[in-house]
Amino acid sequence: MSYKRPFLRLFFRIFMMKKLAILLFIPLLLFSCFMFSSIERRIGKKIDNCQPNTDCIVKVAEITDFQWDKMFVFAYATPFDEIEKQIGAKYGSYEEFKRQLVFIKDGKVIHQENLLTHISEPVDGAVQFDGLEYNHPLSFTPDTAVFKAQIYIVGYGDTNYRLKQIE
């Protein structure tokens, strides 16, 4: 019966290692959800946390976790070559019919997001930049990317956010 004892020790070690792995994984998962969530999602969370009946001010530079010189916002139908022309740099992964959010630092793309679009109505959680039109992208510096924000409901109760630049 001596073969059972090493088996129990091995079983106990494996059980404890799995338990430790789970305990280490949960904080890492929570941390990564914040760190790797989209800028659009972070803007929405910031607006959701604003006090009712007050002006909600969003400063994009406070939401990003990286340094940037310029931020570009492109409408969903902006062609790839137009984006590269506007940003003056090589553009990475382009997805047709998606809104594009691009951050530039020292003449290079350092962060980009291909944001979901529904052609006939905004997507739940979408951030709409006031004044954005097809072939007329918006560009901001960290100092000018300051907005007054509004929450509005579209479609079947989807929450959307509108940003109007404070000049």
Of 24-28, 106-110, 151-155, minimum mean pLDDT range:
24-28
Same domain, yes or no: 16 and 89 = no
Same domain, yes or no: 21 and 90 = no
Q: What's the mean pLDDT in 31-57?
A: 79
Same domain, yes or no: 24 and 95 = no
Report how far residue 50's alpha carbon sits from residue 58's, in angstroms, rounded to the nearest whole number: 10
164 near 132, Cβ under 8 Å? no
Place 121 in a pLDDT band, splitting at 50, 70 and 90: low
Quote the domain boundaries for residue 85.
38-165
Same domain, yes or no: 28 and 71 = no
Q: What's the mean pLDDT in 58-80?
A: 94
Same domain, yes or no: 114 and 77 = yes
129 near 163, Cβ under 8 Å? yes
Same domain, yes or no: 28 and 46 = no
Same domain, yes or no: 27 and 43 = no
Same domain, yes or no: 22 and 42 = no
Report how far residue 43's alpha carbon sits from residue 37's, in angstroms, rounded to the nearest whole number: 10
User: Which pTM does this prediction carry?
Assistant: 0.75
Same domain, yes or no: 55 and 24 = no
Question: For residue 161, what pLDDT is reported?
Answer: 93
Report how far residue 89's alpha carbon sits from residue 86's, in angstroms, rounded to the nearest whole number: 8
In the DSSP assignment, the letter for residue 146 is: E
Number of folded domains that form the chain: 2
Instruction: Give 55's contacts (C-beta < 8 A, 6+ positions apart).
Output: 148
Whether residue 1 is predicted with pLDDT greater than 50 in this model: the reply is no
Place 60 in a pLDDT band, splitting at 50, 70 and 90: very high
Same domain, yes or no: 120 and 48 = yes
126 near 115, Cβ under 8 Å? yes
Same domain, yes or no: 151 and 70 = yes
